[in-house]
Structure 1
Amino acid sequence: MKRRNKCITFIILLACSLSYGQMEQYQYKRLITGVNNQWHTVPLPDSMFGKVSNNLSDLRIYGLEGNKDTIEVPYLLRINSEKINSTAINFNIVNTSHNHNGYYYTFEVATEAVIDQIKLDFEERNFDWKIELQGSQQQEEWFTLVNDYRILSVKNELTDYQFTTIALPSSKYRFFRLLIKSDKKPNLITAQISINEILEGKFINYPVKAKNIQGNKSERTTEITLDLAKAVPISSISLGVQEEYDYYRPITISHVTDSIKTERGWNYNYNNLLSGTLSSLEESSFDFPSTIVQKMKITVYNGDNQPLNFENIEVKGFLHELVARFTTEATYYLTYGNNHVAMPNYDIAQFSKNIPKILTPLKVGSEQELKKLQLLEKEPIFKNKAWLWGIIVLIVIVLGWFSLTMIKKKD
């Protein structure tokens, strides 16, 4: 049994000796300084996003202890995005009527709660109506909250667009009376009354290095190409439409995933970030999941309409940082640059409520290249057939020797 245990231990040590160190699996590292508590935030520099995997799965924090042992620091990725907490308010429709002005719907709120939004859903799919909204405590005196507010729905082969959400100042009334200025009776299916609490995120404005706006007459589109100074995580774009008249145009926002150089120039492959509608009824800004982008394209489908003018285009992204737990005195590094590793799974993800609310950010140093990664990427040990066959042969020899020894003992 002792020889068997020694044999197994030898094989394990052999396999371990052939593996690379943890930090050497990554192409870059940055020194982290300022650790003096158990919990800290680690801000992610903008200059590193062009060298990490698209889903940020290759971020690691390693610590080197005095005895040369390497420890891995658990972390949570925090994207400081805006959060909207919406609370539905119970209500009853207590009255419906109409006159020469249009059709009225009176909502009675169950409690005297503050509301700031009413979302309507109609059976009709093509309409363009003006509405008025009033509030009252006893239905004796009415106060105007919204007047000449436009709601719109367009559905055809090219467009499927609805704008039926009424945004109003925070209001506290028992009764709300909605007037839809229409000659025909609207078929109101449902209404949702709510109050929204907005928790502001931490935005970063990213400069646009180059902008090009071109009209495509054959496709009847306007194409806007943007080149940011570097690859950064973005989640919002504002187009700054100059026109003040009414419009709605289908729009597609995409970003470059790779490129090929040909004799005629560069050909770019794009991946869609968002498809929607650019409308005068809403802000000309669009939000989408945080994505690492450097070059992007916005396509506006004008149809038979005059092209719009775009100025002051703004691109924004949320602040990205790591929330990390440090338990040992060591020299710490942030490492990244390996598209072949999976997202880590740490225990602290199950106990995020125990993380302190106020954390001190650490300092992240300049980038250093880890040279060993080049060898690892070009000729990984498990892709090198000579290494693989060598290990197999060695294991077979050791196991064969062990088997012969056991047979001799039985004899």
Structure 2
Amino acid sequence: MKKGPAAASAMLVLLGSLALPGTPDFGGNASAANAHVRTVKAAAATVSTMQARPAENNAEASDSWAFAKEIQVAQGAQYQALFLDPDIYGRAEENLGDVRIVNASGQFMPYYMDSGEEGERGLDREYPLELIDRADGEKEIRFDFRVVQAADNEDVRGSRLTFSLPQASFLKKVSLDGSYDGQRWEAVTTGELYSTGEGAFRNVIELNEPAKYGYYRVKVPKGPEPFDLEGMALIDVGTAVSGEDFRRTKEIPFNVESSSGMSEVVMYNADKLRIDRIKLNAAASDGSSGFSRAFYVNREKGTGANTRILSPGRLNRLELAGSTVDDTEIWLADPIRNEKPMVVINNGENPPLDIASIEIGYRVDRLVFEDTGTGPYRLVYGAERQETPQYDISAFRTQIEQSGPGEATLGKENASQFVPPAATEENISGTDTGDGPKVGASASLQITFNLVLVAVALVLIVFLGKKLKKK
């Protein structure tokens, strides 16, 4: 009696596995059949686990985006350009690999990212400037310089000008023009050149974006004392940003710790913004009219990772020629994203500076996508370990930029969770979505054959049961 039910059970397991469409033939081997059953059970357990565990807790990558912002598109433009804001930098992955644009159906929209940065061409490529003309007018002196190329037909590019200054004490507010042919000139920027004759000076004029002029004109107000400029050079900084469109400014919280003649000014960059300028609004705490303090910038306290600066290495607030010089803005060669960067000021024997506020300049990225009429669109971010997407639209970037994309804007942040349709629980759990395999002629024959096998098995089980009872 014990062998009968056992044999019948084994037969049912074997035939039940054979009855599954597409199941391999085990040739009557019960152990192989049982192994197959165990595999099926393990797969079922895996599916159960997938249902029970939220996608965002996946150790490999999160399929859930925690934050979203509505996108307001510009009317009448096929392509839309969208600048990112501090919320996104603060909550997205550092490489922005989890940033996505989704349409009304929750589908991802292709885009390309533009940082506005010029490609690197080596660290600080320097071009000497040759003085080709000087004109002394009634109110100003004009100096014309030619950029000396290292090779014929070289594509010149520069982002800052440096000068050898006279030894005397002076302050000159200068204007800078540029020209491609030495004939037609256009305004570039303005700046200050000064020197106290005792170590405090500015001999640099930074350009707001990389320029490719072959000639530069410096216009200096004429004064009673003689003035000359020589030893001028154009320097190319590899990580310069093209244009002010990719720059933003904001005040940032900070804390000052002073001891042993040094002040550590720790800034709190919680949004991990790419800082490339730091403006300290400071005054001498003892009531003095000016100060001049050496400093350096550390990427984060305790790391020893100082960053290279482009501006002179002193913070200066001076009275020169009856005017106030407020030169306390620091320009960095490479942007820093650390959460607690630090400016260290050498006070010497002086009391620490009174810093009222700190304003930073930071770089932003721009996303460009096509408005396909499937909006409203949202920008989603805040998913872990997502890879940066690669879309075909990047191959048409030049043509898109020439067409002039519309300027889209972002709404307020929404903390509601977004899960793409392909990663919802319905699809994971195996619910029929209508996209499964269709039953064709070969599948119908397989089902018919399996039904016949089941019927034969039932007849055999009944027959074996009657024989065993007689015994």
Q: TM-score normalised to the size of structure 1?
A: 0.51
1-structure distance, mates of 2:315, 2:198: 11
User: CA 1:163 to 1:148, structure 2 compared with 1: closer, same or farther past 3 Å?
Assistant: closer
1:302 is aligned to: 347
Give the Å deviation of 1:179.
3.9
2:283 is aligned to: 242
Alignment partner of 1:57 is 2:97: yes
Give the Å deviation of 1:54.
1.9
1:323 is aligned to: 368
2:18 is aligned to: none
* Equivalent residue in structure 2 for 1:251, among 296, 319, 322: 296
1:285 is aligned to: 329
User: CA 1:128 to 1:53, structure 2 compared with 1: closer, same or farther past 3 Å?
Assistant: farther
1:224 is aligned to: 265
2:66 is aligned to: 28
Give the Å deviation of 1:49.
2.4
User: CA 1:348 to 1:255, structure 2 compared with 1: closer, same or farther past 3 Å?
Assistant: farther
Alignment partner of 1:354 is 2:394: no
1:141 is aligned to: none
Give the Å deviation of 1:233.
4.7
Give the Å deviation of 1:287.
3.1
CA RMSD of aligned residues (A): 5.5
User: CA 1:370 to 1:224, structure 2 compared with 1: closer, same or farther past 3 Å?
Assistant: same
Give the Å deviation of 1:129.
4.2
* Equivalent residue in structure 1 for 2:110, among 55, 63, 73: 73
Q: What amino acid does structure 2 have at the position aligned with 1:92?
A: I
* Equivalent residue in structure 1 for 2:203, among 136, 140, 164: 164
Give the Å deviation of 1:295.
3.8
Alignment partner of 1:214 is 2:245: no
Q: What amino acid does structure 2 have at the position aligned with 1:299?
A: V
2-structure distance, mates of 1:270, 1:303: 21
User: CA 1:253 to 1:278, structure 2 compared with 1: closer, same or farther past 3 Å?
Assistant: farther
* Equivalent residue in structure 2 for 1:41, among 75, 81, 85: 81
Q: What amino acid does structure 2 have at the position aligned with 1:59?
A: V
Unaligned runs of at least 5 residues, structure 2 = 1-21, 23-42, 119-126, 135-141, 147-159, 175-190, 207-215, 236-241, 317-324, 424-471
Does structure 2 conserve the Cα–Cα contact (< 8 Å) formed by 1:131 and 1:178? no
1-structure distance, mates of 2:371, 2:338: 32
Does structure 2 conserve the Cα–Cα contact (< 8 Å) formed by 1:247 and 1:279? yes
Does structure 1 conserve the Cα–Cα contact (< 8 Å) formed by 2:62 and 2:385? no
Does structure 1 conserve the Cα–Cα contact (< 8 Å) formed by 2:282 and 2:353? yes
Render the CA deviation track for 1:70-124: whole Å, top value 9, x for unaligned: 444122235699xxxxx99753389xxxxxxxxxxx96768xxxxxx973359xx
Render the CA deviation track for 1:232-281: whole Å, top value 9, x for unaligned: 4544221123144452413224347xxxxxxxxxxx86865555722327
Q: What amino acid does structure 2 have at the position aligned with 1:223?
A: E
Render the CA deviation track for 1:357-393: whole Å, top value 9, x for unaligned: 3513144452323479xx9xxxxxxxxxxxxxxxxxx
Unaligned runs of at least 5 residues, structure 1 = 1-5, 7-13, 82-86, 95-105, 111-116, 136-145, 155-160, 181-187, 257-267, 376-411
Q: What amino acid does structure 1 have at the position aligned with 2:255?
A: N
User: CA 1:118 to 1:60, structure 2 compared with 1: closer, same or farther past 3 Å?
Assistant: closer
Does structure 1 conserve the Cα–Cα contact (< 8 Å) formed by 2:71 and 2:409? yes
2-structure distance, mates of 1:166, 1:131: 16
User: CA 1:131 to 1:193, structure 2 compared with 1: closer, same or farther past 3 Å?
Assistant: farther
Give the Å deviation of 1:318.
4.4
The structure with the largest alpha-carbon Rg is 2
Render the CA deviation track for 1:108-145: whole Å, top value 9, x for unaligned: 768xxxxxx973359xxxx9544698x9xxxxxxxxxx
Q: What amino acid does structure 2 have at the position aligned with 1:30?
A: A
Does structure 2 conserve the Cα–Cα contact (< 8 Å) formed by 1:222 and 1:299? yes
Give the Å deviation of 1:150.
1.6
Q: Percent identity?
A: 14
2-structure distance, mates of 1:302, 1:172: 33
Render the CA deviation track for 1:165-189: whole Å, top value 9, x for unaligned: 479996399xxx9747xxxxxxx98
User: CA 1:58 to 1:348, structure 2 compared with 1: closer, same or farther past 3 Å?
Assistant: same
User: CA 1:349 to 1:121, structure 2 compared with 1: closer, same or farther past 3 Å?
Assistant: farther
Q: What amino acid does structure 2 have at the position aligned with 1:354?
A: I
User: CA 1:227 to 1:328, structure 2 compared with 1: closer, same or farther past 3 Å?
Assistant: same
2:19 is aligned to: none
User: CA 1:120 to 1:152, structure 2 compared with 1: closer, same or farther past 3 Å?
Assistant: farther
Does structure 2 conserve the Cα–Cα contact (< 8 Å) formed by 1:254 and 1:274? no
Aligned length: 289
User: CA 1:319 to 1:151, structure 2 compared with 1: closer, same or farther past 3 Å?
Assistant: same
* Equivalent residue in structure 1 for 2:414, among 366, 370, 390: 366
2-structure distance, mates of 1:284, 1:326: 44
Q: What amino acid does structure 2 have at the position aligned with 1:241?
A: A
2:426 is aligned to: none
2-structure distance, mates of 1:42, 1:293: 24
Q: What amino acid does structure 2 have at the position aligned with 1:49?
A: Y
Q: Secondary structure at the match of 2:353?
A: coil
Q: What amino acid does structure 2 have at the position aligned with 1:369?
A: Q
